[in-house]
Structure 1
Amino acid sequence: MTSTLVIYGSNYGYTRTYAEWIAEDTHGRAVAADQVGAAEVDAADVVVIGASDYAGKLTAADRIRDLAANLREKKVAYFTVSFSGDVSQPSEKLDGVLAKNLGEAYHDGAPTGHFRGGMDYSQLSRAHKTAMMGVRTFLKSKPNKSETDLQMIECYGGSADYRDRASIAPLVSAIKAL
């Protein structure tokens, strides 16, 4: 039986949820990036890497880059979680975010998924709340707002949760086919 290790970086729990779902559906194990060791990566047949995307910066990207040598010969897959997922950004652009952030730890052509998370202002760090003030101002002045732009404006100061377990099905199928 193939062993699958799902490594994730998550600040507010949305990416952790997707990592746990993917681990369950692939009969694998989900481990936070700051808790995983090189020996665990070496022991896995398939490694899935997930990270939260904050304006093009991925959580735990530095830790994943540290594991690049251990990932070199592995079957890998990747996923990101953000407020909009791939609803308002093409997957190819989001794959580019993975490549830019992960460097040698990214395998071009590997299966990827880009999922919607959410936002709960009561949980945001001061830095993220401050950043969101600027994002909200920008989005309100934007002439042609996307669906996710409107949703982000609407949830400002409150919360929204767009996690969807069904959305992982194509990635899980691709992982099982590795």
Structure 2
Amino acid sequence: MPTTLVLYGSQYGHARAYAEWLAEDLGGRALPLAEAAEADLEAADTVVIGASDYAGSLTQADDVVRLAAALEGRKRAFFTVSFSGDVSVPREKLDAVLAKNFGPAFDAAAPTAHFRGGMDYARLSRAHKTAMMGVRAFLRTKRGKSETDQQMLDCYGGRADYSDRASIAPFVERVRGL
């Protein structure tokens, strides 16, 4: 019987939530990248890998690269979770982030998805709060703000969650079609 493993790197919980939803809908199991071993991959026919995207850096990408050899010959799919998902960033740019971060583990022909997460300033690390100060300053002066630019400004210092379980349905169907 085919098995699916959903590996994820999650900083604040949004990527973990998507991984758990995907695992449930695909009849597999979710596992944090930091805990994944080659033996886990050997037992899976399909491996879905996702991570939180922070300005082009994917959480625990080094663990994906570490597992690259064990991914060979397995059906793969990839996802990212960020504040804006693919709402205001072209899919091609986000796929390039996957390729850059996951290197030899990435399969350009594999299904990809880019989901929206959220932000909770009370949970952000000091480094992320500092980075967000710069993002806020930039966005305040930016002409032609996107919808997600304005949403980021509106939630500054507070909380916003755009996670949407229903948004995984098209990706689940593409993964099932592998």
Q: Name stretches of at least 5 consecutive residues in structure 2 with no aligned partner.
A: none
1:150 equivalent in structure 2: 150
Q: Give the length in aligned residue pairs.
A: 178
Give the equivalent residue in structure 1 for 2:36. Answer: 36
- SS of the aligned residue for 1:88 comes to coil
Aligned partner letter, 1:110: A
**Structure-2 separation of matches of 1:154 and 1:177:** 39
Aligned to 2:135: 135
Note if 1:115 corresponds to 2:115. yes
- Normalised TM-score (structure 1): 0.99
Secondary structure of residue in 2 paired with 1:98: helix
* Partner residue, 2:74: 74
Name the CA distance, whole Å, in 1 between partners of 2:72 and 2:141: 45
* Aligned position for 2:99: 99
For 1:5, the aligned partner's letter is L
Residue 110 of structure 1 and its aligned partner are, at CA, apart by 0.2
Deviation at 1:37, TM superposition (A): 0.8
CA distance in 2, matches of 1:10, 1:155: 20
Residue 89 of structure 1 corresponds to 89
CA deviation vs aligned residue, 1:36-56 (integer Å, no higher than 9, x gap): 111001110000000000000
Q: How far did residue 2 of structure 1 move?
A: 1.2
What is the TM-score normalised by the length of structure 2? 0.99
Structure 1 residue 112: Cα displacement: 0.5
SS at match of 2:8: strand
Provide runs of 4+ in structure 1 moved above 2 Å. Answer: none
Mapped to 1, the partners of 2:168 and 2:78 lie a distance apart of 11
Q: Deviations over 1:63-116 (max 9, x none)?
A: 000000001111000000000000001111100100010000000110000000
Q: For 1:24, what is the secondary structure of its paired residue?
A: helix
Q: Distance in 1 between matches of 2:32 and 2:135?
A: 28
Q: CA RMSD in A?
A: 0.5
1:116-156 Cα offsets, whole Å, 9 max, x none, are: 00000000000000000000000001011000000000000
For the residue of structure 1 that corresponds to 2:73, the secondary structure is: coil
Instruction: Give the percent of matched residue pairs that are identical in Structure 1 and Structure 2.
Output: 65
Separation in 1 of the partners of 2:29 and 2:92?
Answer: 27
Deviation at 1:158, TM superposition (A): 0.1
